[in-house]
Structures are given as structure tokens and as C-alpha cells.
Chains A and B, each alone.
Chain A
Amino acid sequence: MTEAVTTRIQTTLAQQMAQPGGRTLADVERRANERLGRHKAEVMVEVEAAVAGLEGLCVAQPETPAGEVYRLATRVLDLAGFFETGPLFDAGYSLADMADRMAAADAWEWPPVQVHVQALRLILNAGCERNAATDHLLAGLKAVAGKTGA
């Protein structure tokens, strides 16, 4: 067992943040939210395209789908994850997680993937609002994902 060497450091970031001045937290958060919000419409188009891509895969059912399904599911997460898209993000996460597990176990099944993709479309069309219906939907996805062979 090697001995660990520990060093007490103060990073340049910490030194700079310790300087007086700057802006209030409320101000920077408001400014950041305002700038981020400008991207939402454009990004939701990209999210919609990723869901359409997943729908296409469900129809074509290629022989080695895991990588592409995972890529598109994580694309939904990467983009939608900047905004309050509650149930859409949760459904996308469930799909990415399930695809990852099925690929690792070499036990791919299309039906649970199709259910997830249909759920993503439903949530997207309903404006990504969280309500009792989407809660039921997500509970269903959890049950479906739990029953996969992976």
C-alpha cells in the first residue's frame, strides 16, 4: 500500500472569488436563466428530432441497435437537461439506463424500448407538463424497465 501525499492548495479560482466586488447571486442567476431561456425553442426542435430518430429505429429495428438508441436517448438528456422538462427527462433517462443495461447484458428487447419512445412522444406532445397522467406513465416505464432481462 503506498502512502498518499496530500497538499493543501488554494486554486486561482478560489483566490479570484475571494476578491471584493462581483455581482449578487440573485443577479447572476437571473442573468444566466435569461440567457439560457433564449435557446429553449431551438433546442426543443433538436429534442423532437432525437425522438423522431428513436421512432425510426423502433420501426427499422436494426440488428445492432444499442449504441444508436443509447446515443439518441442521451442526446435527449443532454439537451432537455438544461430546462424544466420533468417527465421528458425522466422518461429519456429511463430509456438510456435500460438501453445501457440491456447492451451490457447482451439482452436486447424491442418492446420496452418502443414503450419508452411512445411515452417520450406523448410527453413531448403534451408540452412536458408534469401531472398525474405523466406520473402514472413514468411509474409504468419504471415497471417496464424493471422487467427487462438485463
Chain B
Amino acid sequence: MSEDRINLEQSTVLLVDDTPQALDMLSSIFQGFGVKEQIKCPSAVEAVKVVQQRSVDLIVIDCGDPEMDGYAFTRWLRRETPAPLRYTPVILVTGHAAQSKVQEGRDCGVSFVIAKPLTPAVLLKRILWLGADEREFVECETYVGPDRRVRNFGPPVGMAGRRKGDLSAHVGHAVEANMDQADIDMLLKPQRVSL
């Protein structure tokens, strides 16, 4: 992927917004981005029907419908659908996140939350990021979705890791003698190398 180009010519995007004008604006932005196809849904319930019938490559959702909002939709997608559908990237757009929704936003499994104001430039950056996303997909009892730790620094200090790749939090005893200062100096000292 060239750094100054973006190729969405093969991509199908599902846009979900319960405000019709906002849905039209999202659609205009994605027209500008040059996507192959976009499917517009006025509710998350309709979006469920769409993804049950066909595959999409990206979902952008801004939906506060009490019957099913963007958080509930993402949770359903991540937990109730088979792979690879459940891996579909989801960008959740929000104008204001109510206090009661902040934790839900963290836990529902979205790929990104974008808080408005939303400009095409911001959306583009997030899509580029998704294109290069190397985060692993995590599935456990309390969370299903992309790894929320964008950088993997291992488990929190003092806690045992829960993932197979996590190293032990216990450092343990030294297995060989400490280096003396002269050895360390030798490592740091620039040396001329003859080839």
C-alpha cells in the first residue's frame, strides 16, 4: 500500500445512521473516498439483516436507537456471528457519549470510536489505520474485539498474563554472574574495525 494513496475500489461499506441527513453526509464522504459500493441503513436492526445476508468490508455506525444502538450492534456482531464476519472492522461515530455509554464504548469491541466533529480527513486517517491494523483479535468471556492495547506492553505489573504469548510477570533470579564494569565499558566503547 503506497503511503500517499488509498484503494477502496473493491470495498463495500455499510453505513448506519438513524439521522437521515447524517446518513446522506456519510454517504457523500464515502463517495468521495471512491468506495466500490455503499449500503445505507437507517437503523442498527436493519443493519443486522444486511450483514446476515451479505458480506461487507467496513461498517461505520452512529446510532442511538434504544431498540439497538451502535454499541449493541457491535456486541452482537462480535459475539453472535461466525468468523470471518465477526472480524469486520467497525468504526463507531458519536456526537456525545452519555456517561452510561462510556464503558460500553470501551467494551463492545469496536475497532475505533470517532467523536465528532468528524471531517473527511479524520475518517480517512482511521481507515488508513485499519488498513495497516496489526492488532490481534481477542476473544474472552468479558470482551470480544480488536486488542484494545494498541501497543502490547504485556500484562499489567504484578498480574499474570491471560494470553498465551504473555510472559511471566515474575522476573526470577539471575542465571549467570553479573558483568564487571570493564566488560560494560568494552561494550560501549567505539572500536575501529578493520575489514
User: What residues of chain A have their CB less than 8 Å away from a CB belonging to chain B?
Assistant: 1-9, 11-14, 16-26, 28-36, 38-39, 42-43, 46, 70, 73-75, 77-85, 89, 93, 96-97, 100-101, 104
Chain A residues near B123: list those with CB within 8 A. 32
Q: Is the CB of A78 within 8 A of B62?
A: yes
Q: How many interface contacts (CB-CB < 8 Å) are there between A and B?
A: 191
Choice from A22, A36, A74, A82 contacting B64 with Cβ under 8 Å: A74
Chain A residues near B84: list those with CB within 8 A. 9, 11-12
Q: Is the CB of B29 within 8 A of A36?
A: yes
Q: Is the CB of A82 within 8 A of B131?
A: no
Chain B residues near A8: list those with CB within 8 A. 136-137
Chain A residues near B137: list those with CB within 8 A. 6-9
| Number of chain B interface residues as a range | 35 or more
Inter-chain CA distance A6–B139, complex, in Å, is 6
Q: Is the CB of B6 within 8 A of A22?
A: yes
Q: Is the CB of B141 within 8 A of A16?
A: no
Inter-chain CA distance A80–B127, complex, in Å, is 22
User: What residues of chain B have their CB less than 8 Å away from a CB belonging to chain A?
Assistant: 1-2, 4-11, 19, 21-22, 24-25, 28-34, 55, 57-58, 62, 64, 84, 87-89, 95-96, 98-100, 116-121, 123-124, 127-128, 130-133, 136-141, 143, 147, 162-165
Chain A residues near B133: list those with CB within 8 A. 11, 14
Chain A residues near B31: list those with CB within 8 A. 31-32, 35
Q: Is the CB of A96 within 8 A of B96?
A: yes
Q: Is the CB of A22 within 8 A of B32?
A: no
Chain A residues near B131: list those with CB within 8 A. 13-14, 17-18
Inter-chain CA distance A119–B11, complex, in Å, is 43
Q: Is the CB of A101 within 8 A of B99?
A: yes
Nearest to A28 among chain B residues (CB) is B33
Choice from A4, A5, A17 contacting B7 with Cβ under 8 Å: A17
Chain A residues near B8: list those with CB within 8 A. 16-17, 22
Chain B residues near A2: list those with CB within 8 A. 140-141, 162
In the assembled complex, the CB of B49 is this many whole angstroms from the nearest CB of chain A, namely: 20
In the assembled complex, the CB of B69 is this many whole angstroms from the nearest CB of chain A, namely: 12
Contacts A3-B162, A97-B96 given; does A11 touch B57 at CB 8 Å: yes
Between A and B, 28 residue pairs with Cβ closer than 8 Å are A2-B141, A2-B162, A6-B136, A7-B87, A7-B136, A7-B137, A11-B57, A13-B131, A16-B7, A17-B1, A17-B131, A20-B7, A21-B7, A23-B6, A24-B4, A28-B32, A29-B32, A31-B31, A32-B30, A33-B120, A35-B32, A36-B29, A39-B25, A74-B96, A89-B117, A100-B98, A104-B99, A104-B100
Closest 4 CB pairs of A and B: A22-B7, A32-B32, A81-B116, A77-B95
Chain B residues near A34: list those with CB within 8 A. 32
